[in-house]
Amino acid sequence: MADCSDEAQAELSDKEKKDIAVWFLSNAPVGEISYVAKDIRALIGDDKLYDMAASEAFPRHNKAHLLILELPDRSGDVIITGHGEIGKNQYLEPRTAQVATVDHIKQVCTGLRPAMDDELPSPYIEEFRYALDVELCKYVAEAYPKGISAVYCTRGKEIDEPGSDFEFVAIISASKKSPQNFCNGNWRSVWTFEFKDETQLVGVKGKIQVAAHYFEEGNVQLDAKNEFNDSTIFQSPEDCAVQLTNIIRHHESEYFQSLEASYLHLPDGMFKDLRRKLPITRTLFPWHNTLQFSVTRDISKELGIGK
């Protein structure tokens, strides 16, 4: 009969190793996947197996974190999102009507071409998309100094006159990567707008995710998310753009304020429940002054939001 210790030390199969590697890479905090990859490669000890895991995990990670990459001609940035994915490793940048080819593992754009006509909205739909993009850019410039936005037509881009429904998705991504200061974080919001011709309404669905990682002599992570529903009247492109941007501004500002309030008033007892008697630093935690530790204050400072 095999000893329990022998079973525990049984060698993992290549598939199990790959799956574990994919999980760790996919779930790496923003800005830290390259560091995780270095350790994973060393632990696996098999370059072929690592390459298989990386080719699966990096695209998943980049899209989940709405990675921002500079276009090769420096005409702007492209957000790596499934909403703009039009082919293998190819992503639409709707503002400049270009398609970027992306190396997910190196996290760089390796090529650029003009978008084809069938990859772009009709002139009628583009009026609405462009107007919303302009207003969203203004808002993002005010609220997220380190943020980038994009508006994609995800349904009905071929419509060339009133009378049909169509859909847009607006993306906002703001990141601060500061590994030398043991701190990385990002704000991601995805807003879906359903333009309904019959009811003359625009349905709004929003999803916000905030992540932060502090790892100086420890490992503290914030992962907060929320969803929203709203609507407004179907109007002209310019009026719709203003109303939809105001809805985004309202919900995002309100959510940030709620996060700030939650962490500023976090009961001292909750911190104490997480404590060790004596931390690894051998220094007692200052329980008499826990309010000096504010996660949202640091997020605000690092991402340049909430100002």
Q: 298: closest CA among 204, 182, 126, 207?
A: 182
In this prediction the pTM is: 0.82
Q: pLDDT tens-digit profile of 188-217?
A: 999 999 999 999 999 999 999 999 888 877
Flag the least confident range among 124-133, 175-184, 206-215, 228-237: 175-184
Q: pLDDT tens-digit profile of 27-85?
A: 999 889 999 999 999 999 899 999 999 999 999 999 999 999 999 999 899 999 999 99
The residue among 263 and 111 whose pLDDT is bigger is: 111
Q: pLDDT tens-digit profile of 252-307?
A: 999 999 888 877 766 555 555 555 555 556 565 555 555 555 555 555 665 555 55
Q: How confident is the model at residue 181 (pLDDT cuts 50, 70, 90)?
A: confident
Using the 8-state DSSP alphabet, how is residue 48 labeled?
H
Show the domains of the chain with their CATH numbers.
11-64 (3.30.1140.60), 68-114 (3.30.1140.60), 121-255 (3.90.1150.210)
DSSP 262-303: HHHT--HHHHHHT--SS-TTS----GGGGGG--HHHHHHHHH
SS3 34: helix
**Whether residue 8 has pLDDT greater than 50:** no
33-44 helix and 14-26 helix, angle to the nearest 10 degrees: 170
pLDDT score of 122 = 97
pLDDT score of 301 = 61
Task: Tell me which H or E stretch contains 128.
Answer: helix 123-143
pLDDT score of 266 = 63
